[in-house]
Copies of this chain bind each other. A is one copy, B any other.
Amino acid sequence: MTEPRAVVAAFIAAIEAKDLAAAGALVAEDISYENVPMQPIAGRDTMVAVLSAFMGPAVAVEWKVLREVAVGNVVANERIDRFQFPGGWVELPVAGFFEVDEQGLITLWRDYFDLSTYTTQMAAVSG
């Protein structure tokens, strides 16, 4: 499976299943994982550690892809990333850009979002 849209779809499905081993297997060892308001995260192992830390407490994860466009090795999508915590749901509108290499591995994952939209909700459900 190397078709970029299929790779990104499989990656998102793995995230929703909270199967971070499967998600990690779909990215290159030297992936750059970039949450634009923050510093880029370098490498598969660090990406998995970061995802584990912030998704670990989630009861459920749903990433709704509202729209997706793909050209060549690039996939861009608009999403609502939803996380259910014991205290309630957090919903974050996100625009994501992905690059997929010829081996079907994600080499770049860059998400644009408003950080305070996330932190404000996280504070509310953690209260």
Which residues of A are at the interface with B, using a C-beta cutoff of 8 A?
Answer: 36-37, 67, 69-71, 74, 76, 78, 93-95, 97, 110, 112-117
- Chain B residues closer than 8 Å to A114, beta-carbon distance: 36-37, 112-116
Q: What's the number of copies of this chain in the assembled complex?
A: 2
- Chain B residues closer than 8 Å to A110, beta-carbon distance: 78
- Chain B residues closer than 8 Å to A69, beta-carbon distance: 69-71, 74, 76
B37 and A67: CB pair below 8 A?
A: no
- Chain B residues closer than 8 Å to A93, beta-carbon distance: 36, 112
- Chain B residues closer than 8 Å to A71, beta-carbon distance: 69-71
Considering the complex, give the chain B residue whose CB is closest to the CB of A116: B116
A116 and B115: CB pair below 8 A?
A: yes
- Report the minimum CB–CB distance from A120 to chain B (whole Å): 11
- Chain B residues closer than 8 Å to A115, beta-carbon distance: 114, 116
Contact of A95 among B74, B97, B116 (CB under 8 A): B97
Q: How far is it, in angstroms, between the C-alpha of A45 and the C-alpha of B83 when the chains are bound?
A: 37
Q: How far is it, in angstroms, between the C-alpha of A108 and the C-alpha of B70 when the chains are bound?
A: 19
